[in-house]
A and B are shown apart, each in its own frame.
Chain A
Amino acid sequence: MVAKVKNVGQPPLNLTESLYVTELVRGLLTTNRHFWRNWLRRKDTATLEYPDRKRPYSPRWRGLHRLMLREDGSPRCVACMMCSTHCPANCITIVAREHPDPAIEKVPASFEIDLLKCIFCGYCEEACPCDAIRVDSGVHAQPVYGRDEAIIDLADLLSRGSQSTSKQGGRSL
Chain B
Amino acid sequence: MKLKLKIWKQKNQTAEGKFHDYNVEADEHMSFLEMLDVLNEGLLENQQEPVAFDHDCREGICGTCSLVINGRPHGPMQGTTACQLHMRHFKDGDTITIEPWRANAFPIVKDLVTDRSAFDRIIQSGGFVSVNTGQAMDGNAIPIEKDVAGEAFEAATCIGCGACVAACPNGSAMLFTSAKINHLDLLPQGKVESSKRVVKMVEKMDEEGFGNCSNVGACHVECPKEIKLENIARMNRKYFAAKLSAK
Say whether A associates with B: no
Name B's A-contacting residues (CB within 8 A). Answer: none
Seen from chain A, the residues whose Cβ lies within 8 Å of a Cβ on chain B are none
